[in-house]
Amino acid sequence: MAARSRCVLQRVWIGFRSHSVCRPSLTSASCQGRLPRKPPIRHVSSSPRLDKSDTPPSTGPSSLSFRSHTCGELRSDHVGERVTLCGWVQYLRQDQFVILRDFSGLTQVLIPQEDSAGDLKAALCDLTVESVVKVTGTVRRRPDGQQNKAMPTGEIEVQAESIEVFNLSRKLPFEIKDFVKKSEALRMQYRYLDLRSFQMQHNLRLRSQLVMKMREYLCNVHGFVDVETPTLFKRTPGGAKEFVVPSRDPGRFYSLPQSPQQFKQLLMVAGIDRYFQMARCYRDEGSKPDRQPEFTQVDIEMSFVDQAGIMSLVEGLIQYSWPVEKGPIEVPFQTMTYEEAMRDYGVDKPDTRFNMKLIDLSEIFLSTEIQFLRSAVSQPGGSFQAICVPDGAKLLAGKDLENLKQTAKTHFGQELTLVLVKADGTLKSPLKKLLSPSDTDRILQRTAAKPGDLLLTAAGSSQTVRPLLGHLRLHCAQLLESRGITVRDPAAFHFLWVVDFPLFLPKEGEPEQLESAHHPFTAPLPEDMELLYTEPQKVRGQHYDLVLNGCEIGGGSIRIHKASIQQYVLNNILKEDPSLLSHLLEALDSGAPPHGGIALGLDRLVSIMVGASSIRDVIAFPKSFRGHDLMSCAPDFVPEEELKSYHISVNWLTKQKGGGDAGNRSEEGEESGMKTCQ
């Protein structure tokens, strides 16, 4: 029977600092059977902070470890204690101090200056930045006047008594300091260094804690079952954005699904009753900014529930798991219909942190003599609408205004007419000469525009005007913020439900054919059920989107649970080949309960929570916007031999391979002049 040793824990070398192999002072053999193993512990005991020795505590972040404390936890209570810290050298100061860092913070280590401690002093002074060491010493109060109030451990320092150097660090491509600016590409290439920053440590740890709380809520409070579903699956109909995975059967491919949609519904048919999963999902979208080819969703499905039930569940989930330091979240969340959202905000995911709503001015001009306005408001679905940008006339420059008009033309094919309200209340606008005094009054009244404000107006089909003004509303908010105006409170979290979406939309490029607004499994609103058979384009679905600060962070629906309705939707409305979903139709016909669910985008939710500018800042190892891993250079070339077992071969664009044209087009390399992934 082999004894297991904790020898390493006993080793202390003064001044050991070579790159060579560690030689233990006790051989493992001599340890065998001598050092009793501590029995593993089952219950949380007293806080590690109360431990009065330098041995590791039995629970908490230093349990089972070489250290007795983390670098962030020592306070004046600990003065006099002998402690062992492990960490990275943040910097050395005046040959007197080594600042040691771990995930939890910084501690100042005092270098002994006595002649008798010459080896130890030399070892400490020779450390390079980012080297990894273990230091044992005694906690002492810093001399008066040397406390650092900005540092949580700033009242104390550790008088070093021994050191073990685990690893000396080479000179690194950038310093591990949050204020050091690094290019995105450099951060990605050396992600293992980038993650050492306190910001990234905070982001990943907050994410982990959030997910843990969500699990507690779902499993322990509401009886959900965490079920893993396959990621090697069958291609779904129309799944053009699904990665394929060749199998050893010639011509047959798995597909990496965009969501576990079918599985979650099948689990309800299977009587699992309440399912959730932190589900890895895949979407091949080429290079879209701030999208990732793999992402994570909080995937939820329940049986015997209605829309209100799912919405309440999610509100409780967010409230329960919300980090305390971000302040409380109030429930229920605001709810808005799709029609209201489009009418007031010109978008189905309104940012409700600020006003600047769309205002319909059509009524004023129903019988106007202004030609372009009359023709706009009298056409079916036409309107004349405005948004009022407070202080826009005062703060935005001529170039800004020109850009707004250009955007309207280029991206929306739409004229934008500006109305500036001058300080004296008069207007500056191409419309000015055309408007009667009463028109002007009514416009100013309806829009509540004050001197200094800017009105952006557009006349035409509401289907264009609304999205245009919705877009410009956000754009102007950004513009004003860049001028120092607080339009949106950066600490505010506005959750919003958007409901009553249309179930079907005209297919792009084929407008007489309908396609699902979300997916073909969404149930119609009960009161619109009959329309399914008569005017399907008017049917609203039992779909709900969850919006946070203007970002869609989740969406779900009550599903169709009757095979006959599902079949009608697939066959008669969507004209899809139902054989591709025959297993789902069979399942619905085998005793399917009423059910519904939701999926929350975890990456997006966390990024908004921590105020990150990109979801890449809340993912440990993200891909670049072109889907590359800049650290390992994935995707990479594979020997043709290895592809043979999958019965595929590569269609090369050119004859060259690897070093050729095909391999050289690495956006990141060109962009930054760094190593290219070839």
Binding to its own copies (CB under 8 A): which residues in 103-132? 103, 130-132
Q: How far is the CB of 53 from its own copies (least distance, A)?
A: 17
- Nearest approach, Cβ of 661 to its own copies (angstroms)? 9
Does residue 1 interact with its own copies by CB under 8 A?
yes
Cα–Cα distance for residue pair 244/284, rounded to 1 Å? 10
Binding residues for its own copies restricted to 597-636, rule: CB under 8 A: 619-621, 623, 627, 629, 631-636
Q: For residue 485, give Cα distances in angstroms to 72, 345, 481, 482.
A: 37, 21, 5, 7
Using DSSP bridges, classify how beta strands 551-558 and 510-516 pair: parallel, antiparallel or unpaired.
unpaired
Query: Is 670 near its own copies (CB under 8 A)?
Result: no
**373 counts as binding its own copies under rule CB under 8 A:** no
Name the segment binding its own copies (CB under 8 A); options: 365-373, 406-414, 509-517, 520-528.
520-528
From 273, 400, 515, 576, residue interacting with its own copies (rule: CB under 8 A): 273
Q: What secondary structure letter does DSSP report for 569?
A: I
Rounded distance between C-alpha atoms, residue 541 and residue 385, angstroms:
28
Residue 193 or 386: which CB sits closer to its own copies? 193
Q: Which of residues 428-487 bind its own copies (CB under 8 A)?
A: none
Residue closest to 473 by CA, chosen among 363, 392, 551, 402 = 392
Out of 118, 122, 166, 177, name the contact with its own copies by CB under 8 A.
Answer: 166
**How near is the Cβ of 620 to its own copies at its closest, in Å?**
5
Contact set for its own copies, span 187-206 (CB under 8 A): 190-196, 201, 204-205
Which residue in 34, 411, 432, 657 binds its own copies (CB under 8 A)? 657
Q: Which is nearer to its own copies, 490 or 591 (CB)?
A: 591
- DSSP secondary structure code for residue 25 in this structure: S
The HSE-up count of residue 335 (CA atoms within 13 Å, CB side) is: 12
Closer residue to its own copies in complex, CB, 78/187: 187
Contacts of 575-584 with CB under 8 Å at 24 or more apart are: 575/513, 576/237, 576/238, 576/520, 577/237, 580/236, 580/237, 581/237, 581/262, 583/266, 584/262, 584/265, 584/266
d(CA 250, CA 260): 26
Decide whether 436 or 582 has the Cβ nearer to its own copies. Answer: 582
Residues 59-88 that bind its own copies (CB under 8 A): 59-61, 63-67, 86, 88
Contact between 350 and its own copies per CB under 8 A: no
For its own copies, the binding residue among 17, 78, 134, 349 (CB under 8 A) is 134
Q: Which is nearer to its own copies, 133 or 418 (CB)?
A: 133
Q: Dihedral (C-alpha) 276, 277, 282, 287: value to the nearest 10 degrees?
A: 90
Q: Give me the least distance between CB of 558 and its own copies, in Å please.
A: 9
Per CB under 8 A, the list member of 46, 113, 208, 537 interacting with its own copies is 208
Task: Give whichever of 453 and 545 is closer to its own copies, judged by the CB atom.
Answer: 545
- Strands 427-428 and 417-421 come out as antiparallel
Q: HEC profile for 422-489?
A: CCCCCEECCCCCCCCHHHHHHHHHHHCCCCCCEEEEEEEEHHHHHHHHHHHHHHHHHHHHHCCCCCCC
Stretch that binds its own copies, among 95-103, 353-361, 417-425, 440-448 (CB under 8 A): 95-103
Residues near its own copies (CB under 8 A), total:
184
Q: How far apart are CA 271 and CA 383, in angstroms?
A: 50
Q: Is 38 in the site for its own copies (CB under 8 A)?
A: yes
- Check residue 589 for interaction with its own copies (CB under 8 A): yes
Asked whether 193 and 176 are in contact (CB, 8 A), the reply is yes
d(CA 324, CA 430): 52
Kindly tell me which of 316 and 452 has the beta carbon lying closer to its own copies.
316
Q: Which is nearer to its own copies, 147 or 337 (CB)?
A: 337
Euclidean distance between CA atoms 409 and 7, whole angstroms: 73
DSSP state of 535: -
Burial class (CB in 10 A: 0-12, 13-18, 19+), 275: buried
In whole angstroms, how close is the CB of 343 to its own copies at the nearest point? 12
Q: Which residues pair with 141 in a beta bridge?
A: 156
**Which one of 409, 638, 670, 673 is in contact with its own copies (CB under 8 A)?**
638
Of the residues 151, 270, 517, 551, which one makes contact with its own copies according to CB under 8 A: 270
Shortest reach from residue 407's CB to its own copies, in Å: 30
Backbone phi, psi, residue 476, to 5°: -70, -35
In three-state secondary structure terms, 366 is coil
Task: Specify the amino acid at residue 42.
Answer: R
Backbone angles phi, psi at 607, to 5 degrees: -65, -40
Which residue, 442 or 626, is less far from its own copies as judged by CB? 626
Three-class DSSP category at 150: coil
Residue 193 or 547: the one with the smaller Cβ distance to its own copies is 193
- Which residues in the 281-340 window bind its own copies by CB under 8 A? 282, 284, 286, 293-294, 296, 302-313, 315-316, 319-320, 331-332, 334-337, 340
String marking each residue 234-253 x if it binds its own copies according to CB under 8 A: xx----x--xxxxxxxxxxx
Restricted to residues 529-588, the positions that interact with its own copies (CB under 8 A) are: 529, 561-562, 564-565, 583, 587-588
Rule CB under 8 A: say whether 22 interacts with its own copies.
yes
Residue 503 as a binder of its own copies (CB under 8 A): the answer is no
Q: Among 399, 613, 653, 655, which residue sits at the site for its own copies (rule: CB under 8 A)?
A: 653
The 3-class SS string of 47-80 reads CHHHCCCCCCCCCCCCCCCCCCCCCCCCCHHHCC
